[in-house]
Amino acid sequence: MKEHRNRKRRVLGQHFLASPGVLRKIVEVIDPRADELVIEIGPGKGVLTFPLAEKAGKLVAVEKDPAMVPFLQGKEIPNLTVIEGDILDCDFGRLRADHGAEFGKATLAGNLPYSISTPLLFKVLEERAAFDRCVFLVQREVAERICAGPGSKAYAPLSILLQLHFETILRFAVHPGSFSPPPRVESALVSLDRRPVPLFAFADQRRFGEFVRAAFRQRRKTLANNLLASGRSEPAIEEACRRAELDQRARPEQVPIAGFAALFAAFRGEPAP
């Protein structure tokens, strides 16, 4: 039976936190307040859920594993609502409206299964208006990508698109021994605080995301070669790089967010944002 449970955990990508010290540090970073809604992803055995519920105005826990839901509900904590479901299928705006409309702020937090980290982060980008803050425990490689700046090997479209809308901070690393069962990789806690306004505003955010992904199509190629592969002409690339004051021979990981913003505007014939 125990082996069956462990096998199911591996299928769901579950590695439960088992270090009291790490849990305390995570709660300190989340810093839940009595006037805030906290939405927790994958509460599992509730080791993070229960200390968060003690301080938050309301805690909504979304759990995919049906075996965990009765245990969490059985605690009968007045300000805790447990929802069985896949967080990737949740409408965050609706979740906040239904369960936390009376609260001024909302935080999304959780120990993310490695298999859903990237799709969830892009979902957060799409539905960012539903949160003021996110605090995630993720694979260290993902945390470094979220927070990476130009010149770093970890710098990627995800870095640019998240940092456009959030102030991102890698808080601390977490050793595999802090989990049960231990994962094969290190983890890290990262916080994302939504900016009052984005670093740069675009009329079409979706197209900016597509543009950045095209620019990173092959990391080892130059910016100009990647843009050529995306269907842009050589004269248009030369003119846009000139207007954006960028070296077209640069590699995409060398270009700061402001450079991508200026280049995107140049291709569209708009002033730099």
Domain chopping of the chain, boundaries = 2-194, 205-267
Question: Which fold does the domain 205-267 belong to in CATH?
Answer: Helicase, Ruva Protein; domain 3 (1.10.8)
What does the alpha-carbon distance between residue 9 and residue 16 come to, in Å, rounded to a whole number? 9
What tens digit of pLDDT does each residue of 227-239 get? 999 999 999 999 9
More confident of the two residues 1 and 113? 113
List Cα–Cα distances, 190 to 3, 25, 29, 90, 237, in angstroms. 32, 12, 9, 22, 36
Question: Which fold does the domain 2-194 belong to in CATH?
Answer: Rossmann fold (3.40.50)
Confidence label for 114 from pLDDT (cuts 50, 70 and 90): confident
Q: What's residue 203's pLDDT?
A: 82
In sequence order, the 6+-apart residues with CB closer than 8 A to the CB of 59 are: 32, 37, 38, 39, 40, 49, 52, 53, 77, 79, 80, 81
By the 8 A CB rule, do 190 and 146 touch? yes
Which stretch of DSSP H or E encloses residue 191?
strand 187-194
Task: Tell me if 2-194 shares its fold with 205-267.
Answer: no
By the 8 A CB rule, do 42 and 208 touch? no
Confidence label for 271 from pLDDT (cuts 50, 70 and 90): confident
User: 36 pLDDT exceeds 50?
Assistant: yes
pTM > 0.75: yes
In total, the chain counts a number of residues equal to 273
Mean of the per-residue pLDDT values of the chain = 93
Confidence label for 4 from pLDDT (cuts 50, 70 and 90): very low
